[in-house]
Amino acid sequence: MKNYDYIILGAGAAGLMMAYRMANDAFFDNKSILILDKERKTQNDRTWCYWENGVGEWDTILHTLWKEIIFESELYSTKENLKPYQYKMIRSSSFYDKIWNFIAAKKNFHFTPVTVKSIEQKEDFANIVTNKENFQTKYLLNSIVFEKSYLKQTKYPVLNQHFVGWFIEVEEAIFDDSVATFMDFKIPQKGNTRFMYILPISKKVALFEYTLFSEELLAYETYEKAIQNYLKEKGITKYKIIEKEDGIIPMTSFKFWKSNSKNIIHIGTAGGWSKASTGFTFKNTTKNTQKLVAFLKTEKPLSKFHKKNKFWFYDLLFLDVLANENHLGANLFARLFQKNKTQQILKFLDNETTFLEDLKIMATMPSFKFMKVLFKRVF
């Protein structure tokens, strides 16, 4: 049984970001840190986008960025300059490279490729069972989703942000690569919240992602057919698919942090770091890893890390509405964009607005529907 001061399970966005921050902090220089994952990923398995005000920590590995976004729906459409924000894109391979290269210079960091079978809180340490050997640590930072416990409860609705994306290349320079389409709801909603997300990377290459916020997943070919139809409708008939991606991100206010314990903390999507109302995770991970590294230095039990805030409750109400009436998404987002400044919406979704600002945004939502779910939650 090998023992380490800290063990990070999963070398994806959250695990590697934790490793990077710990490697950057002299406090951890004399601590042994082990990273476990099935593999040391190097490939582009996902595209991460997030908005940010001004210069940011990951700017050196940005693939591209946009200063403007488009929102489209039957009710309201707009093109907005995001200033002072920018919408930024990172391809995961640059992120993995940057962090693995940085860690390589640190002698106290180790990596072992294993499949983790289970983890367990023992009296004063965490135990990790893998397909090869077992490990122990006082501080276990886990980003692996072992069992989807959020699906085994009914108190909090669980939607998914699910999507399939095609990177396509065309011969003529037809894309406007200065603007990203954040949401185009002008597609058949079929009783759900469905939109097309379009990220032009150059005038000839763009990512088209058919996305739903809904409970049930679709057959893979349904997403693909929808992208095909959309391209056809836009008159894009000659193209080459150069890459594909897909994903399912849980959208729920389930209290993930309740399963944290003295020596185990769940991080990333496994820790509920995906924003419940949107599925955006990368920015939250950037913020939460900073807080968690500072917290680790206090050497307090890991169960004490999480602090619930008002945004948890707002997300809960939004998901209550959307789970009850899944077709309403296009309308709710249209109202949001029509009646609020885009920068305020981004600030709100970043959990950074004041209570007064929250009230102004909430006043633009259909009050009866939100009062109904609020009443149910409170009483």
Ligand X SMILES: Cc1cc2nc3c(=O)[nH]c(=O)nc-3n(C[C@H](O)[C@H](O)[C@H](O)COP(=O)(O)OP(=O)(O)OC[C@H]3O[C@@H](n4cnc5c(N)ncnc54)[C@H](O)[C@@H]3O)c2cc1C
Residue numbers at the binding site for ligand X (CB under 6 A): 10-15, 36-38, 41, 46-50, 115-116, 143-144, 245, 247, 249, 268-270, 280-282
Minimum CB–partner distance for residue 347 and ligand X (Å): 16
CA–CA distance from 270 to each of 16, 54, 144, 277, 312 (Å)? 14, 29, 6, 16, 16
Q: Shortest Cβ contact with ligand X: which residue?
A: 12
Phi then psi for residue 191, to 5 deg, are 80, 5
Minimum CB–partner distance for residue 217 and ligand X (Å): 13
- Alpha helices, DSSP H only, in the chain? 13-23, 92-104, 220-233, 282-296, 310-324, 329-339, 342-349, 355-362, 367-378
Torsion of CA 183, 14, 60, 93, to 10 degrees: -80
Residues 6+ apart with CB under 8 A from 78: 70, 71, 337, 338, 342
**CB of 96 or CB of 314, closer to ligand X:** 96
**CB of 90 or CB of 373, closer to ligand X:** 90
**CB of 189 or CB of 289, closer to ligand X:** 289
Alpha carbon 109 to its chain centroid, in Å, reads 26
Extended strands (E) in 143-266: 158-169, 179-184, 193-200, 205-214, 240-252, 264-266
Minimum CB–partner distance for residue 123 and ligand X (Å): 25
Minimum CB–partner distance for residue 374 and ligand X (Å): 27
- SS3 at position 351: coil
Minimum CB–partner distance for residue 327 and ligand X (Å): 24
Which residue shows structure tokens 């097309």?
A: 196
**CB of 36 or CB of 159, closer to ligand X:** 36
Torsion of CA 73, 76, 81, 82, to 10 degrees: -70
**CB of 194 or CB of 275, closer to ligand X:** 275
- Say if residue 233 is exposed, middle or buried (CB neighbours under 10 Å; 0-12, 13-18, 19+): exposed
Residues 6+ apart with CB under 8 A from 224: 164, 166, 210
Minimum CB–partner distance for residue 15 and ligand X (Å): 5
Kind of pairing between the strands at 134-142 and 126-130: antiparallel
Residues 6+ apart with CB under 8 A from 189: 327, 329, 330
CB 211 within 8 A of CB 195: yes
**CB of 42 or CB of 153, closer to ligand X:** 42
**CB of 90 or CB of 296, closer to ligand X:** 90
**CB of 11 or CB of 323, closer to ligand X:** 11
Minimum CB–partner distance for residue 377 and ligand X (Å): 26
**CB of 157 or CB of 279, closer to ligand X:** 279
**CB of 12 or CB of 157, closer to ligand X:** 12
The span from the CA of 365 to the CA of 345, in Å, is 12
Minimum CB–partner distance for residue 373 and ligand X (Å): 25
Minimum CB–partner distance for residue 14 and ligand X (Å): 3
Minimum CB–partner distance for residue 115 and ligand X (Å): 4
